[in-house]
Amino acid sequence: MKIKNKNNEDCFPPDGGKFHRGFGYTSPIGEILVLLNDMRQTITNTGIDKSLNREMLFRRFSRISGSADGNGLGLAIARQICLLYEWKIDYEYENQKHLFEVIF
């Protein structure tokens, strides 16, 4: 898996390339881009090759389609944190990439 910074330079996590389950949706040859500044955090990845259901995306344990894998609690917790701090969280699918953005 390749991770690039905003300058398109390769970056590697301190554990040598192992990620938590949240990054498991990206294929081994996929890409994850994480951008953070004082106004927003954006995470883009090349996960499954279709848009996710926006209505179900931030609900606990929702299923992506008929698959056994679901969203678990991660996105539901992220949404609750955003509500608490009055931040905006959004999801888009464009150019075969999933984009999650939190605007502070």
With left for phi above 0 and alpha for psi between -120 and 50, is residue 72 left, alpha or beta? left
Tens place of pLDDT per residue across the chain (104 aa): 555 666 766 665 555 554 454 456 666 777 888 898 999 999 998 878 888 888 888 988 776 655 556 666 888 999 999 999 999 999 999 998 999 999 99
Residue 68, pLDDT score: 54
List strands edge to edge, sheet with 31-36.
Answer: 10-11, 2-4, 31-36, 40-45, 97-103, 88-94
Look-up of token digits 């259901």: 53
What domains lie within the chain, and their CATH numbers?
2-103 (3.30.565.10)
Record the pTM.
0.71
